[in-house]
Amino acid sequence: MKENNPDTISQKYFNCVVTPSYKFEIIYAEHLNGETVEFNHSHPYFEIYYIMEGQLKSSVGSKIHTLYPGDLLFIAPNIKHNTIYEPTIAKEYFAIIFQISEINNKSIPIEFEILRNEIQDKLNFISRNTYIITRNQFDAFDILERIKKEMKDKNIGYSQIVNTLYHHFFIYALRTMDPSRSKFEEPQENLNLGLEASKYIHNNYFREITLQSVADYLNISPRHVNRVFYEMFGTTFSKALTLLRFSYAKKYLCTTKYSAEKISELVGFKSPRILYKLFQEIDGITIAEYRRIYRKN
Enumerate the β-bridge partners of residue 50. 72, 94
Give CA 101 to chain center in angstroms. 23
Paired strand residues for 66:
57
The CA distance from 138 to 68, in Å, is 16
Residues 202 and 170 placed together within one structural domain of the fold? no
Residues 30 and 165 in one domain: yes
The number of folded domains in the chain is 2
CA-nearest of 45, 46, 33 to 93 is: 33
pLDDT of residue 5: 41
Give the torsion through C-alpha atoms of 142, 148, 154, 158, to 10 deg: 50
Alpha-carbon distance of 144 to 136, in angstroms, equals: 13
Residues 141 and 239 in one domain: no
Is residue 39 one of the residues assigned to a domain? Answer: yes
Is residue 68 domain-resident?
A: yes
Q: Are residues 193 and 169 in the same domain?
A: no
**Residue 48 structural domain:** 10-175
Radius of gyration of the chain (CA): 29
Q: Are residues 205 and 241 in the same domain?
A: yes
Per-residue pLDDT of the chain (297 residues; tens, 9 = 90+): 444 444 467 777 788 999 999 999 999 999 999 888 889 999 999 999 999 999 999 999 889 999 999 999 999 999 999 999 998 899 999 999 999 998 887 788 878 888 899 999 999 999 999 999 999 888 898 999 999 999 999 999 999 999 999 999 999 999 998 766 655 454 445 568 888 889 999 999 999 999 999 999 888 898 988 888 888 889 999 999 999 999 999 999 999 999 999 999 999 999 999 999 999 999 999 999 998 888 776
| Amino acid at the residue 149 | K
SS3 state of residue 99: strand
182 lies in a domain?
A: no
* CATH number of the structural domain spanning residue 62: 2.60.120.280
| Side chain identity at residue 223, one-letter code | R
Q: With respect to residue 5, please indicate whether it lies within any of the assigned structural domains.
A: no
CB distance 47 to 173 below 8 Å: no
> Does residue 98 sit in the same domain as residue 29?
yes
Per-residue model confidence (pLDDT) at position 232? 86
Q: Which of 111, 144, 175 is the last residue of a domain?
A: 175
Q: Write down the pTM of the prediction.
A: 0.65
Q: How many CB atoms lie within 10 A of CB 31?
A: 22
Residue 52 in 3-state DSSP? Answer: strand
Closest CA to 95 of 142, 153, 56: 56
Can you list the alpha helix ranges (DSSP code H) found in the chain?
110-129, 140-153, 158-175, 193-204, 211-218, 222-233, 237-255, 260-267, 272-278, 287-296
Q: Are residues 161 and 227 in the same domain?
A: no
Residues 111, 149 within the same domain: yes
Q: Is residue 4 part of a domain?
A: no
| pLDDT of res. 37 | 87
Which value, to the nearest 10 degrees, does the dihedral of the CA atoms of residues 84, 86, 89, 90 take?
70
The predicted pLDDT at position 2 comes to 43
Residue at a domain's end among 114, 140, 175? 175
Give the chain's end-to-end CA distance (angstroms, integer): 71
Would you state the pLDDT for residue 179?
63
Does residue 13 sit in helix, strand or coil?
coil
Question: Rounded CA gap, 113 and 171, in Å?
Answer: 15
- Residue 201 belongs to domain with CATH number: 1.10.10.60
* CA–CA distances in Å: residue 116 to residues 24, 27, 200: 10, 19, 35
Q: How far is CA 184 from CA 46, 171, 190, 218, in A?
A: 25, 15, 13, 21
Q: Identify the sign of the CA torsion 28, 32, 35, 39.
A: positive
